[in-house]
Structure 1
Amino acid sequence: MPLALLALAIGAFGIGTTEFVIMGVLPQVAGDFGVTIPTAGWLVSGYALGVVIGAPLLTVLGTKVSRKKMLMFLMALFVVGNALSAVAPSFGVMLIGRIVASLAHGAFFGIGSVVAADLVAPQKKASAISLMFMGLTVANIVGVPGGTYIGQAVGWRITFALVASLGVIGFLGVAKLVPEMGRPQTESVRTEFAAFRNVQVWLAMAMTVLGYGGVFAAITYITPMMTEVTGYTEGAVTWLLVLFGIGMFLGNLVGGKLADRALMPMLFTALAALTATLLLFTATAHNKVLAAITISLIGAFGFATVPPLQKWVMDQASTAPTLASAANIGAFNLGNALAAWLGGIVIATGLGYTAPNWVGALLSGSALLLSLLAARLDRRTRKPGRVVGRSQPSVSAPVAVRR
C-alpha cells in the first residue's frame, strides 16, 4: 500500500482521538462547568452536528484547490478547534471549540477516502479506505484511553492540548507524504451535487445515520453506565475503551477485506450482529466480564460497517464521489448526534443508564432493513453483467488532472 495512506491514517488518528475522548472525560467536564451529564452530552452532539455541516460545506469550497492543500487546511482547522477547547473558560466556549474542530472531520475523511481509493487498484479500494480509517481505530486503542487517563489524572484540558498537538503532527504528515495529485477538471459544484439525484446515495447515507448511530447511543454514556450500573471504577473505563478500540480495529480490517469480496452481504451480517449485541448489552451491562466482552463486540460489529458503507456510497456516486463521500461522513456523525440526543432523553426520563442500548438496537436494526431495501433496488436497476454487492471498477470516472 502507498506510504501516503500512512499520512491519512495519522490525520485520522488525531481526529478519532478528539471525537471519542470526550466520552471518557464527560463527568469531569460536566463537573468543572457545573452542568448535568445529559447537558454535557451536547459536546458529543454538537461535534457531530458540526461534522454534518462542515462535511459538504468545506468539500464544496475545496473543489477550487488541490486535495492535498485542502487536507492540510482541514488539519490546521482541527488544531485551532482543539486548542480553543483546551483553554475554554465556559461550557459555551468549549462547545464552540468542539464545533470548530468538527468542521474539519467530515471533509477530511470524505476527501481522504477518495484520495485513498485513487491510490490503489480497483479491487483494493475498500481495503485502502479501511487502512485510512485504521488511524481512527488505533486512536480508540491508544489515543482515547490515554487521553481519558490523562484527563482523569491531571485534567481534561491537558487532554485537549495534547489532541491539538496530534493535529500538528497530522498536518506535517499530510504535507510530507501525500502526493500533489492535482484537482480533476470535471470536479465542480454542479457535478458533485448531481450525484445526489441517485436515490441509492440517499439510502446509503440513511443506512449510515442509523447503523453507526446505534453504536453511539450506547458508547456516548459508557462512563456513567459502567460506573453506576456495572460497578466498575472510573479508572477502569480507560481499559474498557481500549477493548472498544481493539474491537473497532479488528472490525475495520475485516470489514474492509470482506467488503472487497462481497460488499452487501458483509454489510447485512455486520448490521444484524450489531443489533443483536446492542440488545444483549442491556442485560450484560450488569456483569463486569460480560459487559467488557460486549463493549468490544459493539466496536467490532459497528466499525465493520464503515468500509462497506463508505465504499457503497462512493460506488453509487461514481462520477462525482468527493461530496457524496464527505456527506456520508457527515451522515455517520448525524447518526452520532441523533443517538447521543436520544440516549440523553431516555436517561433524563428516568429509564436508567442502560436504556440507550435498546435505542441503539432500534437504530441499527432500522439500518439493516434499509440495506436490504437498497440491495433489492440495486438488483432491479443494475446493468447487465453487474454483480450486486461486489466492488465496482472505480469510484470515479477517468478525468484529466490539473497540475
Structure 2
Amino acid sequence: MRRRRTPSMPPTVYLLALAVFAQGTSEFMLAGLVADISTDMRVPLSDAGLLTSAFAVGMAVGAPLMALMSRRWPRRSSLTVFLAVFALVHVLGAVTTDFGVLMTTRVLAALANAGFMAVGLATATALVPPNAKGRALAVLLGGTTIACVAGVPAGALLGELLGWRSAFWAVALVSLPALVAVVTSVPAGKTGNPAPAGRPSVATELGTLRRPRLLVTLVLGALVNGATFCTFTYLAPIVTDVAGIGSAWVAALLALFGVGSFLGVRTAGRLSDTRPLPLLVGGGVALLLGWVVFALAASIPAVVVALALVQGTLSFAVGGTLISQVLYAASDAPTLGGGFATASLNVGAAAGPWLGGIAIAAGYGLRSPLWVSALLVAGALVVGGAAWAMVRGRAGGARPAVRETPTP
C-alpha cells in the first residue's frame, strides 16, 4: 500500500519558532520567579502573580490590535519591530526597582509578543498547504514548549543563583539571535494574502466573529488556558509549601511540565488536522480529572511529579487543538485569525492567575489554584457540550461539522 507523503515545513516556520522560544520563556518564567519578586519588591505573593495576568492582558488586547496595525506593513518589518521592542522592555524590567514600572514592562512586552504572534501565525499558515495549519502551528508552538522544557527552568535556576533580574537579562540576550533569524529569513511580503487584491478587508475579517463556531472555540480556548496558567503561575509555592519538595527542585518540576507541553503540542500537531473532536473530548475529560486528583493529592510528592508531566501534556494537547480549530474557523481572516486565537488564550492566561490569586488571598490556601483550574475545565466541558447539543438539535440529530481534514 502506497504511503501518503506529508509535506515538509518551510525553514522559515522553524526560524519563527526560535523567536517564539524567547517569548515563551518570558511568558512562563514568572512561575519560578514570583516568590523572589514578591520578596525583592516587597509586595504580596498574589500581587506578584498579577505580573502574569498583566502580560496576558497585554497579549489579549494587543493581539487583534497589533494584527490590524500591521496589515499594511511588510511581514519582515513587522516581526523585526515587535521582537526588538520585546527585547528592549526586558532590559528595562531587569534594571527597575519599582513594581509599577515592572508591571508596565510586562504589558509592553506582551503587546510586542502579541503582535509578533499574530503576524507569525499568519506568516506560518500562509507558507503551508491549507490542510496543514495544525502542523505549522505545532512547529510554531514548539518554540513555546522548548521554552517550558529548557528556558523556563533555566530562568528559575538563574533566579535561584543570581536573582530574578538575571532571567530578564537572559530573555533579552536570547532575543538577539532570533531577531537576526527573522531579518535574514522571513519574506518581506504583507502579513495577509500575498496578493493585495486577494486580501480580505478589515470588515470581512472582523465579520468572522459573528460565527457561533468560532466564538465557542474562542471561549473554550480561554477556559482551558485559564486553567493551565492558574496552576502554572503558582506551581513553585505549591511544590515547595504543599508537597514539601525543596526549592532546588522547582526548576526540574517546571522542566517536567515543559516536557509534557512538548508532548502535548506534538500530539495536537498529529491529530488536530484530522481527528480534533476525539482529542478535545477525551483530553478535556482527562484534564478535568487530572486537576481534581492534583488538588486532592498535592501533598504527595510522587503525585505532584507525575501530574506535572500529565497535566502539561493534556493542557497543551487540548489547547493546541483549540488554536488550530480557531484558525480553521477563521480561515478567511488570514491576518486577524491568529490575533483571535492569541487573544482567546491570553484572556484565559490573565483570568487564571487572577482567580488563583483571589482564592489564595481569600484564605483558601495554596491548593486553591488547583481547584480553580478544575472548575475552569469543567466550565469548558459544559460550554462545549451545550454547543454540541444545540448544533445537533438544529441538525435533527445529524453530526455537527467539525474540521477533520484527511491527511494529504
TM range (shorter): over 0.9
Give the corresponding residue for 1:390: 404
Which of 88, 91, 109 pairs up with 2:117?
A: 109
Deviation at 1:223, TM superposition (A): 1.1
Give the corresponding residue for 1:346: 359
- 1:86–1:335 distance in 2 versus 1, CA, 3 Å: same
Which of 306, 319, 326 pairs up with 1:313?
A: 326
Name the CA distance, whole Å, in 1 between partners of 2:327 and 2:156.
34
After superposition, the C-alpha distances for 1:161-196 in whole angstroms (9 at most, x for unaligned) are 110112222221111222234343224322221211
- 1:124–1:375 distance in 2 versus 1, CA, 3 Å: farther
Give the corresponding residue for 1:4: 12
The one-letter code of the counterpart of 2:32 is: G
Deviation at 1:359, TM superposition (A): 0.7
Task: Find runs of 4+ consecutive structure 1 residues off by over 3 angstroms.
Answer: 372-382, 384-387, 391-394
After TM superposition, list the pairs within 5 Å mapping 1:167-206 onto structure 2: 167-182=175-190, 183-184=192-193, 185=196, 186-206=199-219
Please say if residues 264 and 308 of structure 1, whose CA atoms lie closer than 8 Å, have aligned partners that are also in contact: no
Give the corresponding residue for 1:368: 381
Name the CA distance, whole Å, in 2 between partners of 1:113 and 1:271.
25
**TM-score, with structure 2 as normaliser:** 0.91
Deviation at 1:88, TM superposition (A): 1.2
Please say if residues 265 and 389 of structure 1, whose CA atoms lie closer than 8 Å, have aligned partners that are also in contact: no
After TM superposition, list the pairs within 5 Å mapping 1:249-264 onto structure 2: 249-264=262-277
After TM superposition, list the pairs within 5 Å mapping 1:192-271 onto structure 2: 192-271=205-284
Give the corresponding residue for 2:296: 283
The one-letter code of the counterpart of 1:301 is: L
Name the CA distance, whole Å, in 2 between partners of 1:305 and 1:181.
32
Give the corresponding residue for 1:129: 137
Q: Size of the alignment, in residue pairs?
A: 393
Structure 1 residue ranges without an equivalent (≥5): 395-403
Structure 2 residue ranges without an equivalent (≥5): 1-8
Please say if residues 346 and 356 of structure 1, whose CA atoms lie closer than 8 Å, have aligned partners that are also in contact: yes
1:48 equivalenced with 2:56 (yes/no):
yes
What CA RMSD, in Å, does the superposition of the two structures yield over aligned residues? 2.1
Deviation at 1:112, TM superposition (A): 1.8
Name the CA distance, whole Å, in 1 between partners of 2:236 and 2:225.
19
After superposition, the C-alpha distances for 1:324-369 in whole angstroms (9 at most, x for unaligned) are 3212212111111111111111111111101111110110121123
Deviation at 1:377, TM superposition (A): 5.5
Give the corresponding residue for 1:72: 80
- SS of 1:321's partner is coil
Name the CA distance, whole Å, in 2 between partners of 1:259 and 1:196.
21
**TM-score, with structure 1 as normaliser:** 0.92
- SS of 2:187's partner is coil
The one-letter code of the counterpart of 1:364 is: V
Quick one: percent identity of the two aligned structures?
Answer: 33
The one-letter code of the counterpart of 1:71 is: L
